[in-house]
Amino acid sequence: MTTALAPASASASTEPFDLDAYLCGIDTRLLGVAEGRRALCALDPLLFALLYFPHHLRSSETGEQISFSEFHIDLCEAAKRWHRQNLGPAEIREAWVAPRGSGKSSWSFLILPLWALAHGHRRYCAAFADSATQAEQHLTSVKRELEGNALLRYDYPDLCAPAIRLKGSNVSDNRSLYVARSGAVFSAKGIDSSVLGAKVGSRRPDLLTLDDAEPDEANYSAYQKDKRLGTILNTILPMNDRAVVQIVGTTTMPGSIIDDLVKSTVLIEPADWVRDEKIVARIYPALITDPETGEERSMWPQRWGLEYLQSIRHTRSFMLNLQNDPLARDGDYWTLDDIRHGTLPALTHQVLSIDPAVTSKERSDFTALAVIGFYAPERRAVVRDAWALRVAPGEALRARVLAILETFPNIAGVLVESNQGGDTWKAILHHLPVPVRTVHQTAPKEVRAARLLNHYQLGRVVHERRLLEAEAQLVSFPKGVHDDLVDVIGQGVEVFLGKKKQANVTSGSYL
């Protein structure tokens, strides 16, 4: 199995799209007149694409043939809801994560916005890309269609003509903003541009599109991710909390904004911002494994043949750009091959390791917890589970610890890093059914990580199952957005495998 990720969509297609059958269901008499075409397309963005943008649906990669993947079909099905007016706050907020080369920009920055604006479903589309240059290039493509697409101009003349002032000049027709005679508005900006108060007249955007809004990993960092996420949460989404929101992209690095959205589909506790903003993510890897039969198939056979995908599945580029796998990046320390999965013959000891955060605020570190088991005869450790949480350093943390102790009843003690907070943690974690020991870390983070990596590479540490968040932090260390789980796993493993144990582990007195 190439990836644990599968299409996450309530309407995800399970059968190949039959274009011929779809076309047979259309009354061709209506296609002969503008009124008929507009009526047919009003609630059918797929037909709109076929009629007005067939040149964007063909490419040399698909043999110049028109074809659709389940990603495209699901995009169109979801867009049909955009015609609804008077949406509630955060009612339609969706993220679509698909491979590079899957036509994301053509659909999200051109076809679907123009379909919505042409029929009055949305009146003002504000589209954002990684840079102003990138966004303006997309808007240039839109304007090229409005100016040169003969059928589009014939059927939607008021959309294709710019609004004119009484003195004869355009209301607005520049590199970043277009206002149509119909009143439709299309703006395109870099995501870090100044967008506050982006109204045209009294109207605010009612369609917010973010397309590939993050740079590649070579030009990205944890600081930049936090800054960009802050722009999205504090500036772009508040432009209109009732707007349709469509986020489209490909994973650029572990811990990135798109990576948070990918992991929200497979983690029990997704990133706070994804949950708080009510964003529903849908993931489309290029190579999909059927969960029932185990058979593999291509998401878009006309674009990527199954044999081709299977031939490159071992490469990092495949995992990052086609699978959107959060473990795609090999870091300066761990590689994917260093992480083994399995169980130990038996467990002689177990400990709950905690690296607590002093606050639960959005910008603070996470509180990291990990259950580490140990099999003394082989001197090997197993990471049974690991969590990175925003949890208040008080009774909420204690309640979480008690729940973990109940789930893993053979845990013999709790280990808490005390570099921040000191012995306060013993007071917070009072009256636990197992002893609590605090540890003050003195070695630099990189030194501790190197010791932990050595245990992994010698086969002394395994993971009981795939731990997405923990493994993403390991392989991206030290350049990843977060490393709390690296610390907490290292702390727990060191109790059992470290050279300076404070007691004989086999006696059970390691705490």
Is residue 155, in this structure, part of any structural domain at all? yes
User: What is the total count of domains within the chain?
Assistant: 2
Q: Say if residue 272 is in the same domain as residue 342.
A: no
* Strand ranges for 232-302 from DSSP E: 244-249, 280-283, 287-289, 296-298
Q: Backbone dihedral region of 266: left (phi > 0), alpha (psi from -120 to 50 degrees) or beta?
A: alpha
Is residue 148, in this structure, part of any structural domain at all? yes
DSSP type of residue 210: E
Q: Say if residue 279 is in the same domain as residue 343.
A: no
Q: Say if residue 264 is in the same domain as residue 387.
A: no
The confidence score (pLDDT) of residue 267 equals: 65
**Residues of the domain holding 128:** 19-289
Residues 6+ away with beta carbon under 8 Å from 507: none
Distance CA 254, CA 87 (A): 33
Distance CA 241, CA 210 (A): 15
Residues 6+ away with beta carbon under 8 Å from 200: 124, 172, 177, 179, 185
Is residue 165, in this structure, part of any structural domain at all? yes
Domain boundary among 233, 265, 289: 289
Is residue 162, in this structure, part of any structural domain at all? yes
The confidence score (pLDDT) of residue 336 equals: 80
Residues 6+ away with beta carbon under 8 Å from 187: 124, 125, 126, 127, 139, 176, 177, 178, 198, 205
Q: State the CATH number of the domain containing residue 252.
A: 3.40.50.300
Q: Say if residue 432 is in the same domain as residue 492.
A: yes
* Structure tokens, 405: 């102790």
Return per-residue pLDDT of the chain as tens, 511 residues.
Answer: 233 333 444 334 456 678 888 888 888 889 999 999 999 999 999 999 999 999 999 999 988 999 999 999 999 999 999 999 999 999 999 999 999 999 999 999 999 999 999 999 999 999 999 988 899 999 999 999 999 999 999 999 999 999 887 666 666 667 889 999 999 999 999 987 765 556 666 789 999 999 989 988 777 877 888 899 999 999 999 999 999 999 999 987 778 899 889 888 876 667 889 999 999 999 999 999 887 777 899 999 999 999 999 998 877 788 888 988 756 555 678 888 899 999 998 999 999 999 988 765 555 568 999 999 999 999 999 999 999 888 888 888 999 999 999 999 999 999 999 887 667 888 889 999 999 998 888 888 888 999 999 999 999 999 999 888 888 889 888 877 788 999 999 999 999 998 655 444 444 455 5
Distance CA 56, CA 62 (A): 12
Cα dihedral: 259, 276, 82, 182 (round 10): -100
The confidence score (pLDDT) of residue 507 equals: 42
Is residue 305, in this structure, part of any structural domain at all? no
* Structure tokens, 453: 């990596």
Is residue 317, in this structure, part of any structural domain at all? no
CA atoms within 13 A on the CB side of 36: 8
The confidence score (pLDDT) of residue 201 equals: 65
Vertex 300 angle, CA 294 and 305, to 5°: 75
| Residue 439 near residue 510, CB atoms below 8 Å | no
| Residue 468 near residue 327, CB atoms below 8 Å | yes
Is residue 245, in this structure, part of any structural domain at all? yes
| Residue 159 near residue 182, CB atoms below 8 Å | yes
Distance in angstroms between the alpha carbons of the first and the last residue of the chain: 40
Q: Say if residue 349 is in the same domain as residue 233.
A: no
Q: Say if residue 342 is in the same domain as residue 282.
A: no
Task: Return the number of other C-beta atoms located less than 10 Å from residue 363's C-beta.
Answer: 7
Q: Say if residue 233 is in the same domain as residue 359.
A: no
Kindly list the strands in the beta sheet with 280-283, ordered across the sheet, starting from the edge strand earlier in the chain: 177-179, 185-190, 124-129, 207-211, 244-249, 93-97, 280-283
Q: Say if residue 38 is in the same domain as residue 155.
A: yes
pTM: predicted TM-score of the whole model, two decimal places: 0.72
Distance CA 213, CA 192 (A): 10
Residue 496 one-letter amino acid: F
| Residue 287 near residue 299, CB atoms below 8 Å | yes
Distance CA 82, CA 51 (A): 20
Domain boundary among 289, 313, 346: 289
Q: Say if residue 279 is in the same domain as residue 351.
A: no
Q: Say if residue 381 is in the same domain as residue 482.
A: yes
Distance CA 497, CA 379 (A): 7
| Residue 414 near residue 383, CB atoms below 8 Å | no
Q: State the CATH number of the domain containing residue 422.
A: 3.30.420.320
Task: Return the number of other C-beta atoms located less than 10 Å from residue 292's C-beta.
Answer: 6
Q: Say if residue 276 is in the same domain as residue 402.
A: no
Q: Say if residue 345 is in the same domain as residue 434.
A: yes
Is residue 14, in this structure, part of any structural domain at all? no
* Structure tokens, 334: 């761990």
Domain boundary among 225, 260, 289: 289
